[in-house]
Amino acid sequence: MRATGPFDVKLVPQTMAAGEGHGRMSLDKAFHGDLEATSKGEMLAAQGQVKGSAGYVALEQVTGRLGGRQGSFFLMHTGVMDRGQPSLTVQVVPDSGTGALTGLSGRMTIDIADGKHSYGFDYELPDA
C-alpha cells in the first residue's frame, strides 16, 4: 500500500556536549493526506570536513491514523550527504507499531520542493 501527502516540520536546536561540527535538534511534525498524524522525535547531525558532506540520524514516534487504522509507530532516519550526493533511508522500526498499526512495516521517502515537504510511504499491514 502507498500513502502520500504533505507534512509540516519544526526543528528546534537543543543543547549538546561541547564540540564542533555536530548538533542535536527536536522534531515536531504534522502529517496530512493519507497519513493523518503528528510526530515527535530527535535528530543528531554532523558535518564533514569537506563542503557538502554531512550525516544525520533521527528517531520519531508517529501517532495518528494510517489507512483508516489508529495507532503509533517509530520511524528511523539515516541520511548522508557525500560531497553533495544525498542518500536517505527512512523506515519503520520493526515491531514498533501499536494499536491497529501493530505489525506495520515500510519505508518512507521525503521530498522538499520550494520549501514545502511531502512524503511517500510504502507500507504493509497484516490483514490489510
Rounded Cα gap, residues 81 and 57, in angstroms? 12
Residue 45's DSSP bridge partners are: 23, 56
**Per-residue pLDDT at 97:** 98
List, for the chain, all residue ranges whose pLDDT scores fall below the cut of 70: 18, 128
Is the separation of the CB atoms in 63 and 39 below 8 Å?
A: yes
**Per-residue pLDDT at 128:** 64
**Per-residue pLDDT at 127:** 83
**Per-residue pLDDT at 76:** 98
**Exposed / middle / buried, residue 12 (Cβ in 10 Å: 0-12, 13-18, 19+):** exposed
- Other CB atoms within 10 Å distance of the CB of residue 10: 10
Q: CATH number for the 2-124 domain, one of 1.10.10.10, 2.40.350.10, 2.40.50.250, 3.30.870.10? A: 2.40.350.10
Which of 94, 102, 123, 103 lies closest to 31 in space, CA to CA?
123
**Per-residue pLDDT at 20:** 74
